Amino acid sequence: MTASTTVPEKPDVLSDEFAKDPHSYYKVMRDHYPVLHDEVSGYYFVSRYDDIARIYKDSDGFSNENYGFQMEPVIGKTVIQMSGREHTVNRQLITPALRGNYLEELLPQVDDLATEMIDKFRTAGRVDLVEDFTKWFPINVIVKMLDLPRTDLAKFHEWYSSLMAFLSNLTNDPEIHAWGMRTQQEYPAYILPIIAERRRNPGTDLISRLTQAEIEGEQFTDEQIKALIGLLLIAGGETTDKSIASTLKYLIQHPDQLEAVRNDPSLATQALVETLRFHPPVQIILRTTTDDLEVAGTVIPSGSVVGCVNGAANRDERRFEDPDTYNIFRTDISIKQAFAGSADHTAFALGRHFCVGSLLAKREAETAINQILATMPDIRFADGTVPADAGLFTRGPKALVVEFTPVS
């Protein structure tokens, strides 16, 4: 006789229980439901590493058309949903600003912004690093890049929060839809006059550079720049915020690794990469099938929305050794390739649509991690309480309250 194997119940991806602790369900998905069809949203959630890597790299079988309803209604059409020559040209127009000389010029200012923000609580002895630092640091960097008033930071945070909610609104919540529609009106009214003025009188800021950029005789329109800046707010704000907060959280939980980073600041990169694997800030990225396609034995119909569950893929024991252990010294992931389209983790997607702003995110996180650790030599969770995470599409600590002895 052979013992019968009980198949666990199919996880409800939209349930409160799933949102509280998705990692407890990810292994069930990988082992028993590698393609999980959710009847409420109609989406197909894929959880194994090899399947997700294939989806990201197969630009013929899987498209980014889903961003047409996820983002375009709020900020307009962006490079993230383009394909073919349109995608190539737009990406070539963007890349120099986020990976070229301009980025090198910006980096010292990134360091200065971090120092300025940390100085405000350097002697406090207790601080919520999410509310007082990680939530605002990436937006400060973007506002600096765009040469916009820092007094408008709250507006930018409101707009990118509404866009993130709209993007991940699987249940079609009418209040979230209405929030996105308000941003659809408020954001263009604010940014389009600024873009028009920079086109007339360009400076050295990113908006001015985008108005002047040209590839094969093509330039960005004001509407395209508006959409791109909206994308930059959400991609550069929400995800970097959560990457930094999560990395600090896991280092505090692993004091030996924290001390290693403190003693060798270059290891901050390894800590960030391990966080991108262990607990990616973007847990789910969507794609759309362009034909009937088979994934893990399941045929996904043409035109279906596919949820690539990065949080599950990056802990797939078929790909990573001891995947549920946070280890900045692991040898089964390349640090050199971690911020390129050939990365081992899936946090930034893979292939042609790999996040073009990954190098900026890398530098922001390195700066933040090293400056925080240098400022707080005995950093610890306040009251010994490990902070809880929140979010389905993007996920990170809701708060990160720490205590430390101020350095004189």
Cβ distance 19 to 2 under 8 Å?
no
- Helix 137-146 vs helix 101-119: crossing angle, to nearest 10: 130
Q: What's the confidence (pLDDT) of residue 135?
A: 92
Q: Which two tokens stand for residue 393?
A: 């599409």
Q: Which residues contact 245 (CB under 8 A, 6 or more apart)?
A: 129, 130, 134, 396, 397, 400
Per-residue pLDDT tens digits for 364-390: 999 999 999 999 999 999 988 899 999
Helices (H), 36-173: 49-57, 67-70, 72-75, 84-99, 101-119, 129, 137-146, 153-167
Distance, in Å, from the CA atom of 217 to the CA atom of 199, rounded to the nearest integer, reads: 17
Radius of gyration of the chain (CA): 21
Distance, in Å, from the CA atom of 125 to the CA atom of 120, rounded to the nearest integer, reads: 11
Distance, in Å, from the CA atom of 142 to the CA atom of 177, rounded to the nearest integer, reads: 25
Average pLDDT estimate for 181-198: 95
Q: Which residues pair with 380 in a beta bridge?
A: 403
208: left (phi over 0), alpha (psi -120 to 50) or beta: alpha
Distance, in Å, from the CA atom of 165 to the CA atom of 157, rounded to the nearest integer, reads: 12
Distance, in Å, from the CA atom of 294 to the CA atom of 286, rounded to the nearest integer, reads: 17
Distance, in Å, from the CA atom of 128 to the CA atom of 133, rounded to the nearest integer, reads: 8
Q: What's the confidence (pLDDT) of residue 1?
A: 41
Distance, in Å, from the CA atom of 204 to the CA atom of 206, rounded to the nearest integer, reads: 7
Query: Does 69 have pLDDT greater than 90?
Result: no
Among 191, 175, 254, which Cα is nearest to 226's? Answer: 191
Helix (H) or strand (E) holding 396: strand 396-397
Surface-to-core class of residue 130, CB atoms within 10 Å of its CB (0-12 exposed, 13-18 middle, 19+ buried): buried
Q: Which two tokens stand for residue 214?
A: 């040209």
Domain 16-403 fold: Cytochrome p450 (1.10.630)
351: left (phi over 0), alpha (psi -120 to 50) or beta: left
Query: Does 122 have pLDDT greater than 90?
Result: yes
How confident is residue 93, by pLDDT bands cut at 50, 70 and 90?
A: confident
Among 296, 277, 294, 259, which Cα is nearest to 348's? Answer: 277
How confident is residue 71, by pLDDT bands cut at 50, 70 and 90?
A: confident
Q: What's the confidence (pLDDT) of residue 20?
A: 92
Query: Does 185 have pLDDT greater than 60?
Result: yes
Cβ distance 253 to 386 under 8 Å?
yes
Distance, in Å, from the CA atom of 279 to the CA atom of 33, rounded to the nearest integer, reads: 21
Query: Does 2 have pLDDT greater than 60?
Result: no
What CA dihedral angle connects 318, 321, 327 and 330, to 10 degrees? Answer: -110
Per-residue pLDDT tens digits for 31-49: 999 999 999 889 999 999 9
Cβ distance 278 to 326 under 8 Å?
yes
Largest CA distance in the chain: 81
Per-residue pLDDT tens digits for 254-310: 999 999 999 999 999 999 999 999 999 999 999 999 999 999 999 999 999 999 999
Per-residue pLDDT tens digits for 309-346: 999 999 999 999 999 999 999 999 999 998 888 889 99
Distance, in Å, from the CA atom of 263 to the CA atom of 177, rounded to the nearest integer, reads: 47
How confident is residue 100, by pLDDT bands cut at 50, 70 and 90?
A: low
Distance, in Å, from the CA atom of 248 to the CA atom of 244, rounded to the nearest integer, reads: 6
